[in-house]
Chain A
Amino acid sequence: MIRAVRSSSFAIPAAVVAVLAVYALGFASSYDQRLLTLAGVYLILVLGYQFIFGHAGALSLAQGSFFGVGAYTTGILATAWNPGFVVTFPLSILCASLIAGLVAIPVLRLQTHYFALATLALSQLLLLVAVNWEGLTGGANGLAGVPPIEVLGWTASRGLPLLAVVWAIAGTAMLVARWQMGPDRTASFTVAREAPIAAPAFGMDTQMMRFRAFLLSAAFGGAAGALFVHTNRVVSPETLGFGVMVTCLTMTVVGGRYTVLGALIGALLLTHLPEWLRDLDRYYLVALGVLLLVMVVFAPNGLAAFVSRSPSRTAPNSLATAHPADLVRGDVRLVATALSKTYGGIRALDGVSLDLQPGEIVGIIGPNGAGKTTLANVLTGTARAESGTVLVAGIDVTKRNPHEIARLGIARTFQTPQLPSGLSVEDIVETARRHAAVPQPPETNALLSFCGLASIVPIAADTLPHGTRRMVEICRAVAARPGILILDEPAAGLTPKEQLDLGTLCRSLATAGMGILLIDHNIDFLRPITDRLVCMDAGRIVADGPPGETLEDPRVREAYFGLDIQ
């Protein structure tokens, strides 16, 4: 059960739509019906935008372009050949999706403002095409005389028939959005968005998730654009203009980025609000701006957050505890050979070789900058080695992506816990469990109990103390049922009691067959639980052996403790 039930409540949107239906049938004038029709069109647009902007967390400025592509596809086909709505509507969706698919290849690799700028460039490019390819698009005039929607001989004329068609499609879009972004996927996207580095480390293919969200947003945008053309009976470059994008963005922010209800509120409110303020003559834009500002300031998470609330949950009274043997993928051996990695002129890894056997706990120590974390990054695919090989269970993973390596049985934690905000402990562990590429991942509750987290199951992870957050992250790593576990400074900031508990947990997992690589500075923590201790310095391994021997090694004493330490 995912805590992100923010998106699971469908009763309120359904109630709103039902009331709107009564209003449209019984009370709305022709003008009111038009506004409701437009709101339905924008609802589809915003639902699509939520995929990429809300769930994937990428500021795409191309949603208006997909809207325009859908609009022009319908406009061109309908005015030239009028093959009917059953042809033009799917083709509008297809064209927008195809363009998104093509653009996604170079653009989706970009992050933050680079992604925004790239998508903005797309919109400008399409606008130029629409304005200047007069023979096809009608140029700046656009194409007039788009016929109304006609299906099987029935014409959806202006007013109620068109309203009914648009809202039938909008209702379908709401269901599709609900289906595509149910609680589980919402939680996965939350993790991918809030903890982008950690997400691939437990098997999450974040690039594919972004690609899928981008395609969905384009498909919804294309559908909205097609309906918009039938609503206005004309297509012009304004449909590709930045104004559409701003409208869409505003609706999404004001209503809410993640929920169907948010899209519904944003589309309804922002379609009607400018019309309500028209009587203010020239000042309506000022009034509209002030109102939007107030809404964004006082409801930064969208107005939907005021309406829908997550139900409160309590910790279960008792949970069965998982057996360590059920948490370990058997016989996964990690072999790294001659790994090298440089950052600029600094050799972070210089010919490092390491062999981690199933059931073995290996500690890695070394001064800051020795290359310990770089080694963890290279072993898990977060960074790519320039030379050398990494074998996991005999498979060469040197050039594989992090999520692929994770699925082969390597899990890890990070120096600073990478936990998404807003998700409960249970949600975080459950999400990792669902992305585990193993037939029988451990039961979430049993795993939480094994990690000593049963009492904090419903609590948001970002509100927990540091030591507990570390344990949540370790629990999440174990949820993938790995064969190899790499913990980067897990004891940092832990109390002695917490260190003791962590050591016990590691030992029980190792006993069940898990190979564990412990990177830490805390010798008192490492010495009693490690089978071998490796010391690194300047990107090289300077000692590797039983803890006692390593710690007595003169090279270790020189590199790690300093010569003056007796």
Chain B
Amino acid sequence: MNDNNRTSLAEIGEQYGPKEKLIRMCRQNRLAMVSAIVIVLIIVLAILAPVIAPYGEAQQDLLARLQPPSAKHWFGTDELGRDVLSRILYGARVSLVIGIIPSFLSLVGGILLGLLAGYCSGWIDYLIMRLADVMLSFPSLLLAMAIMYTLGRYANSIICLFAALSLVGWASVARVVRSQTLSLKETEYVEAARSIGVRGRRIMLRHILPNCIPSLIVLYTLNVPSCILAESTLSFLGIGVQPPAASWGLMVNQSKSFLFTMPWLAVFPCLAIMIVVLAFNFLGDGLRDVLDPYLENR
């Protein structure tokens, strides 16, 4: 370990602050930056959907059914004569909301339970972690399907999706937070804080949580696309978002019977899913390179 290249390079590395690092990431990892721009753009398009969409979300034109892409309908129309482009714009709202909110809920839940498990240890830890083991043992898609089915008759499909995806997602967050809490608990500054009588809750929130944030940002960024994928998959199977709402997965589902004759009905929503998911994955990868200390040394 006494390579002087490592020492000297480490010295140089120390001169970068977090902001500089972010700037350096943007410069180096153009893909991540382009992805960030794409994400912002899609969010703006989703917000402005009612303004910029050429037709309404469920506006039917039975005289113009199943039309191929044209100047009037850029992405064509579906079997009820609804404009595919407009539905994709409205669908972006559903997909983004379902990507962002359940990931956030599972993040918060995972943080709380993970901190509790890591900090309290003993039977609380055992109980929480076994519960996490149980959740992670289920095949995630099947679990989400079962939750959708169970809750389906009690609530709106989008609320059900929130519940299903957050219930599926919290366990892996809790595991990460717990393991980091366990190692941080042993550090001198936490010991020091405890020795001067700082209370447990304060230690957890003020001393331990901030140290977990970099990996949590990465985890969150990579959780959003997996929620979007899960939503589209459930909707594709017909147990996700219910019509007449527009969702990309649902659009593919509804185009199934015309797949071979009118492929554009499936192509455009598929492309939309792919672009959003890719953008989040690229961004998450880029952030991990910058924020994750384990990978940074590479």
Q: Do A and B bind each other?
A: no
